Amino acid sequence: MNVPDDLLYTESHEWIKRDGDKVRIGITDHAQAELTDVVYVELPKLDRQVNAKEAVAVVESVKAASDIYAPIKGTIVGANKALESNPALINTDPFGEGWIFELKIADESELKNLKDAATYKQQIG
């Protein structure tokens, strides 16, 4: 299972990539493999203020609907519109084209609460 070293991770299988004052969020390769066959993505509205661990998006597979959580506090500044027409990008390219949303960081110190790749690898065994 692919777990890139340059990303941060959450217990709930989101990945986080820092880009200046914002972060980009998606779900991990492990998570997409568990869900399989993503058929619908409900994206968050722009400018919404969210707290860490708040449900902000929904990824639906044939099997079930799964909430996607904000990893840290912030403001939604981006949503991947490509997923509306092609939700399977989450399966085919979870760390790239399959990204879900972007947050403007409210409190940089919260990034310390996230897992590094080695810790996340341990979590998923």
Partner 1 sequence: MPVQYTGIVDEHQAVRKNIGMFDISHMGQFVVSGTGARDWLNTLLTNNIEKLGVGQGQYTFLLNDAGGVIDDLIAYRIGEEKFFLVVNAARAEEDFDWLDQHRTDDVLLGDRSTYFGGVAIQGPRVTELLVDLPPRNHIVDVELDGMPVSIARTGYTGEDGVEVFFGANDAVKFWNTVLEIGSRFGIKPCGLGARDTLRLEMCYPLNGSDLSPERNPLQAGLGFFVDLAKPKFVGRDVLLGVKQNGSAEKLIAFRMNGKGPPPRPHYPVFVNGSQIGEVTSGTLSPSLNYGIGMAYVAAASANPGQAIEVEIRGTKFPATIEKKPLYKKTS
DSSP states of the chain = ----TT-EE-TTSEEEEEETTEEEEEE-HHHHHHH-SEEEEEPPPTT-EE-TT-EEEEEEESS-EEEEE-SSSEEEEEE-THHHH-TTHHHH-TTTTT--EEEEES-GGGGGGSBPHHHHHHHH-
Q: Does residue number 39 form part of the binding site for partner 1 (CB under 8 A)?
A: yes
Closer residue to partner 1, CB minimum distance, 40 or 119: 40
Q: Does residue number 54 form part of the binding site for partner 1 (CB under 8 A)?
A: no
Q: What mask of x and - would describe binding to partner 1 in positions 82 to 101, judged by CB under 8 A?
A: --x-----------------
The only residue of 17, 60, 77, 86 in contact with partner 1, by rule CB under 8 A: 60
Q: How many residues does the chain have?
A: 125
Q: Does residue number 36 form part of the binding site for partner 1 (CB under 8 A)?
A: yes
| Least distance (Å) between residue 84 CB and partner 1 | 8
| Least distance (Å) between residue 96 CB and partner 1 | 20
Residues near partner 1 (CB under 8 A) are 36-37, 39-40, 42, 58, 60-65, 84
